[in-house]
C-alpha cells in the first residue's frame, strides 16, 4: 500500500512529507492560540470563549454543545478574521523589510521541524527506526542554527516599523536571545557527551539521544531529565526566554513597549508572527522532550519497544509499522502538548521579569550554572565511560 | 513607644532561587484552573439585583391601572443634569374618576443620555409616581432612541403597589365636605 509512495522521486516524497508536517504544525499552532485563551480563562476562574458554533454542528446533541463550550470554533473565527480583515501598511515603514519580517519569522520556525524526529517504528528485526523529515546527524546543531534565525524577523520588524517601541522591543529580543542561547547550548552539551560514548560513531542527532533513554536497566531506561536535572532546568528556562514567553516576556511587555516589534502589524502579517511564536514553542518543546523527556517512549523505564511488546499480547496488529508509528507520534505529540500547557500555565502564574532582571538571570545565574553543570558532567562522564 | 521592630530575615537559598515560590504559584493557579467558575454568562444569566437598586427611572401606575403622575414638575426642577422634560396637560376627559386630579403629563421625556441615576426624582415625587427600578442596561443607535417618552416610561415602570390611594381619599373627603 505504500509502494506507490516509495516509488516517487525522493524530492517529491520529501515535499509531500514536509507539507504533511506543516499541515499538522499550522493547525496545532492555531489551536494553541485558542488553548492559550482557554487556559487563561480557566486559571482566572472564567469559562473563556464559548459562543462560536457552526450551525450544522449545533444540531449534534451533546457533542455539538460540548465543542461549542470548548471554544473549538473560535479558532476558525479567529483565523477567518485574521485572513479577511484589512491588511494595512503604515505609511512610515520600510515596506520591503516590513513585509519580509513575518515571512522571515515563519521560515526558521517551520524549517527546524525538519531536523526533529517525531516518532519511530520497529522494522522487521525489531530495531527502532526514527520517523522524521530528515534524519540528520547534526540534528541538534541544525535546530540551534536555524531557530536562532528567528530573531532576525524581530529585528527586521522592529527596524522596518520605523517607530520607537517596536525598535526597542527588537533590540531587547536580540539581546535576550544571545544571553540565553549560550546557557542553552552549554546545557545540552552533557547530553551529547553522554550519548557519544567511546566506540560509537559521533552524532549530534536526536535518534541516538532517544535510543540512550530507551535502554534496558535502571540507568538505561532513565530519561535524561532525571539523569541531568540541572541541564534540563537550564534548557527549560532558556527555552522560555528564547520563545519570549512569560516570565521572560520583556520583548512584548505591553506596559512599557505597547506591543513590541509587532506593534505596527495587523491582520495576517501579525498572525504569522503569532503562528511563528507557537511553532517555535512546539519545536522547542519537541527538542526538550527528545533530549530530557524520553522522546517517544511512553514512560520512564518503559521504552516504545517494550510497550509495543506488551500491547502485542492484547492487540494482534501491535507490531505493524503503521500502528507503532502512529502510536509513537501520538505519545510524542502528547508530551509536546503537555509542555505547551506548561508554557501557558507558567504564563498565567508568573509576573514578568524586569528587563535588567532578565539580563542578570541570564548572565550572572544561568551561564555560570550551566558552565559548572558542564564541568561536573564532563568529569563524571569521563570517569564513567573511560 | 509601641513600635515593634521586625527583623527582616535574609532570604534562604531556596527562596533566592525563586523556585519554591514558582511551584507554589503553579499550585495556586492549578487550583483555580479546576475550580468552579465565578463569572456570569451575561445575556443568559443575569445578576441578582439588590433591593434599593437605582436603575432606569420609570413611571408607574397604581394597582387600578391609573396614572399617578400629576405633572407637578418637581422632578424636572430637581433633576441635576436636567434630563427630565415634562409638558403639563389636563387629565383626559374620559377618566371621570380622576377629574378632580386636574393635571397630568401631556408628555414626559427622560433623556437617558443625561440621566445620572441619582434618584432625586424618586425622592422628590409627592405622588410616588416615578421610581428607579431594576433595569440597568439601556442602549440605542441614535440619540433620539435614548430618550424615553411617556409610553415607554409606563411600559418600563408597570404597576407598583400603593399604600395611600391619595386621590381616592381626597375624593372621598370632598364628598363628605371636608376638602382641604
Domain edges within chain A: 90-384
Of A47, A50, A345, the CB nearest to B29: A345
Set of cell numbers at residue B173: 373627603
Q: How far apart are CA A118 and CA A282, in angstroms?
A: 11
- Per-residue pLDDT averaged across A34-54, rounded? 88
The pLDDT assigned to A217 comes to: 75
Q: Which residue intervals of chain B are DSSP H helices? A: 13-17, 19-34, 74-78, 120-124, 150-157, 166-175
User: Is the CB of A312 inside 8 Å of chain B's CB atoms?
Assistant: no
Chain A residues whose CB is inside 8 A of the B30 CB are: 345
Residue B133, CA atoms < 13 Å, CB-side half-sphere: 17
The pLDDT assigned to B78 comes to: 95
- Between the CA of residue A321 and those of A127, A218, A245, A298, A318, what are the distances in Å? 11, 27, 37, 17, 8
Chain B residues whose CB is inside 8 A of the A43 CB are: 29, 32-33
As for the ipTM of the complex, it is 0.79
In this complex, do B29 and A46 lie within 8 Å of one another by their Cβ atoms? no
Q: What residue in A sits closest to B24 (Cα-Cα)?
A: A349
Backbone angles phi, psi at A203, to 5 degrees: -150, 150
The pLDDT assigned to B80 comes to: 95
Residue B60 has pLDDT above 90, yes or no: yes
The pLDDT assigned to B74 comes to: 94
pLDDT tens-digit series, residues B115-155: 999 999 999 999 999 999 999 888 999 999 999 999 999 99
Chain A residues whose CB is inside 8 A of the B18 CB are: none
In this complex, do A43 and B33 lie within 8 Å of one another by their Cβ atoms? yes
Residue B100 has pLDDT above 90, yes or no: no
The pLDDT assigned to B82 comes to: 94
Give the model's confidence band at B179: pLDDT under 50 very low, under 70 low, under 90 confident, else very high: low
Set of cell numbers at residue A305: 519497544
Q: For A185-216, b where at least 16 C-beta lie within 10 A, e where not — what string?
A: bbbbbbbbbbbbeeeeeebbbbbbbbbbbbee
> Counting one residue from A and one from B, how many pairs have CB atoms under 8 Å apart?
36
Q: Which candidate, A206, A213, A68, A233, places its Cα nearest to that of A139?
A: A206
Q: Is the preceding peptide bond at A229 cis, omega within 30 degrees of 0? A: no
User: Is the CB of A346 inside 8 Å of chain B's CB atoms?
Assistant: yes
Residue A92 has pLDDT above 70, yes or no: yes
- Per-residue pLDDT averaged across A101-123, rounded? 82
User: Is the CB of A380 inside 8 Å of chain B's CB atoms?
Assistant: no
The pLDDT assigned to A2 comes to: 62
With a pLDDT cut of 90, the percent of chain A lying above it is 7
Cβ within 8 Å of residue B128, ≥6 positions away:
B60, B68, B160, B162, B164
- Per-residue pLDDT averaged across B98-105, rounded? 88
In this complex, do B28 and A350 lie within 8 Å of one another by their Cβ atoms? no
User: Is the CB of B38 inside 8 Å of chain A's CB atoms?
Assistant: yes
The pLDDT assigned to A244 comes to: 81
Chain B residues whose CB is inside 8 A of the A245 CB are: none
Give the model's confidence band at A94: pLDDT under 50 very low, under 70 low, under 90 confident, else very high: confident
- Per-residue pLDDT averaged across B65-82, rounded? 92
User: Is the CB of B2 inside 8 Å of chain A's CB atoms?
Assistant: no
In the stretch 244-283 of chain A, residues with CB closer than 8 A to chain B read none
Q: Which residue intervals of A112-200 are DSSP H helices? A: 139-147, 150-160, 164-195
Among A67-81, A207-221, A282-296, B79-93, whose mean pLDDT is lowest? A207-221
In this complex, do A45 and B41 lie within 8 Å of one another by their Cβ atoms? no
Q: How far apart are CA A338 and CA A317, in angstroms?
A: 28
Give the model's confidence band at A22: pLDDT under 50 very low, under 70 low, under 90 confident, else very high: confident
- Per-residue pLDDT averaged across A139-156, rounded? 84
Residue A1 has pLDDT above 70, yes or no: no
Chain B residues whose CB is inside 8 A of the A350 CB are: 22, 25
Q: What residue in A sits closest to B33 (Cα-Cα)?
A: A43
User: Is the CB of A7 inside 8 Å of chain B's CB atoms?
Assistant: no
Among A190-194, A322-326, B78-82, whose mean pLDDT is lowest? A322-326
Check: CB of residue A331 under 8 Å from CB of residue A364. no
Q: How far apart are CA A59 and CA A380, in angstroms?
A: 63
pLDDT tens-digit series, residues A331-381: 888 998 899 999 999 988 888 888 888 888 889 988 999 999 999 999 998
Helix (H) or strand (E) run with residue B104 in it = strand B103-111
Chain B residues whose CB is inside 8 A of the A42 CB are: 32-34, 37
Residue A182 has pLDDT above 80, yes or no: yes
Residue A159 has pLDDT above 60, yes or no: yes
Which has more confidence, A253 or B20?
Answer: B20
Global pTM?
A: 0.82
Residue A309 has pLDDT above 60, yes or no: yes
The pLDDT assigned to A125 comes to: 67
Interface test with A, best of B25, B27, B31, B43 (most A CBs within 10 A): B25
pLDDT tens-digit series, residues A240-289: 888 888 788 777 777 777 777 788 887 888 888 888 888 888 888 888 98
User: Is the CB of B23 inside 8 Å of chain A's CB atoms?
Assistant: no
Amino acid at each position: 500500500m505504500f509502494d506507490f509512495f516509495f516509488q516517487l522521486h525522493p524530492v517529491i516524497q520529501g515535499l509531500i512529507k514536509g507539507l504533511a508536517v506543516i499541515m499538522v504544525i499550522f493547525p496545532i499552532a492555531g489551536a494553541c492560540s485558542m488553548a492559550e485563551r482557554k487556559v487563561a480563562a480557566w486559571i482566572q476562574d472564567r469559562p473563556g470563549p464559548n459562543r462560536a458554533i457552526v450551525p450544522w454542528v449545533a444540531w449534534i446533541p451533546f457533542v455539538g454543545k460540548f465543542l461549542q463550550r470548548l471554544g473549538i470554533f473560535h479558532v476558525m473565527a479567529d483565523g477567518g478574521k485574521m485572513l479577511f480583515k484589512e491588511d494595512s501598511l503604515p505609511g512610515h515603514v520600510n515596506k520591503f523589510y516590513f513585509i519580509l519580517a513575518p515571512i522571515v519569522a515563519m521560515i526558521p520556525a517551520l524549517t527546524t521541524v525538519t531536523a526533529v524526529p517525531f516518532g519511530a517504528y520497529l522494522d522487521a528485526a525489531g530495531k527502532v527506526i526514527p520517523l522524521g523529515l530528515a534524519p540528520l546527524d547534526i540534528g541538534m546543531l541544525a535546530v540551534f542554527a536555524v531557530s536562532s534565525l528567528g530573531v532576525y524577523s524581530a529585528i527586521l520588524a522592529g527596524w522596518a516599523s520605523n517607530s520607537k517601541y517596536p525598535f526597542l522591543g527588537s533590540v531587547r529580543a536580540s539581546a535576550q536571545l544571545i544571553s540565553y542561547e549560550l546557557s542553552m547550548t552549554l546545557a545540552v552539551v552533557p547530553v551529547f557527551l553522554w550519548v557519544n560514548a567511546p566506540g560509537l560513531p559521533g552524532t549530534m542527532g536526536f535518534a541516538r539521544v532517544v535510543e540512550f533513554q530507551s535502554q534496558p536497566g535502571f540507568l538505561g531506561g532513565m530519561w535524561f531529565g532525571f539523569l541531568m536535572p540541572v541541564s534540563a532546568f537550564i534548557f527549560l528556562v532558556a527555552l522560555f526566554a528564547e520563545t519570549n514567553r512569560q516570565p521572560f516576556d520583556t520583548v512584548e511587555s505591553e506596559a512599557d513597549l505597547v506591543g513590541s516589534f509587532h506593534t505596527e502589524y495587523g491582520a495576517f502579517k501579525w498572525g504569522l508572527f503569532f503562528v511563528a511564536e507557537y511553532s517555535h514553542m512546539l519545536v522547542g518543546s519537541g527538542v526538550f522532550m527528545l533530549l530530557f523527556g524520553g522522546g517517544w517512549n511512553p514512560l520512564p523505564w518503559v521504552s516504545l519497544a517494550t510497550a509495543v511488546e506488551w500491547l502485542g499480547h492484547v492487540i494482534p496488529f501491535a507490531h505493524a509499522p503503521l500502528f507503532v508509528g502512529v502510536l509513537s507520534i501520538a505519545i510524542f505529540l502528547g508530551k509536546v502538548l503537555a509542555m505547551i500547557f506548561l508554557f501557558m500555565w507558567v504564563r498565567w502564574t508568573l509576573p514578568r521579569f524586569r528587563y535588567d532582571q532578565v539580563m542578570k538571570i541570564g548572565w550572572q545565574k544561568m551561564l555560570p550554572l550551566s558552565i559548572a553543570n558542564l564541568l561536573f558532567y564532563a568529569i563524571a562522564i569521563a570517569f564513567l565511560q573511560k | 513607644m509601641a513600635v515593634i521592630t521586625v527583623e527582616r530575615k535574609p532570604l534562604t537559598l531556596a527562596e533566592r532561587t525563586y523556585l519554591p515560590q514558582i511551584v507554589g504559584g503553579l499550585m495556586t493557579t492549578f487550583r483555580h484552573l479546576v475550580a468552579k467558575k465565578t463569572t456570569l454568562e451575561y445575556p443568559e444569566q443575569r445578576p441578582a439585583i439588590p433591593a434599593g437598586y437605582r436603575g432606569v427611572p420609570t413611571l408607574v401606575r397604581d394597582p387600578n391601572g391609573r396614572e399617578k403622575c400629576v405633572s407637578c414638575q418637581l422632578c424636572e426642577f430637581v433633576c441635576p443634569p436636567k434630563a427630565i422634560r415634562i409638558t403639563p396637560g389636563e387629565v383626559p376627559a374620559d377618566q371621570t374618576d380622576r377629574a378632580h386630579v386636574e393635571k397630568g403629563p401631556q408628555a414626559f421625556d427622560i433623556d437617558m443620555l443625561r440621566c445620572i441615576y441619582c434618584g432625586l426624582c424618586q425622592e422628590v415625587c409627592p405622588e410616588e409616581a416615578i421610581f428607579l427600578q431594576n433595569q440597568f442596561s439601556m442602549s440605542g443607535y441614535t440619540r433620539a432612541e435614548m430618550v424615553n417618552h411617556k409610553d415607554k416610561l409606563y411600559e418600563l415602570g408597570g404597576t407598583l403597589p400603593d399604600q395611600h390611594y391619595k386621590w381616592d381619599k381626597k375624593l372621598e373627603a370632598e364628598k363628605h365636605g371636608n376638602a382641604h
